[in-house]
Amino acid sequence: MMGRSGDFSMKYRIAISGSYGGMNLGDEAILEVILRELRAHLDVDVVIFSRNPKGDA
């Protein structure tokens, strides 16, 4: 797979586990930054383990 810089790179699969989905705005903000930075620098598929998956969608 061709990466952003033109070299061949792989797509990463990442799982994140934390206190997400509990309506804590600080935890949700941290998750937003983690996702933004991962997606900005890597070709990733992310799975998030959450207390409330329907509420986080």
Q: How confident is the model at residue 5 (pLDDT cuts 50, 70, 90)?
A: low
User: Which residue in this structure is represented by tokens 């959450």?
Assistant: 50
Judge contact between 9 and 41, C-beta under 8 A. no
Name 29's Cβ contacts closer than 8 Å, sequence gap at least 6. none
Single pTM value for the model = 0.70
Judge contact between 49 and 31, C-beta under 8 A. no
More confident residue, 3 or 10: 10
Q: How confident is the model at residue 54 (pLDDT cuts 50, 70, 90)?
A: low
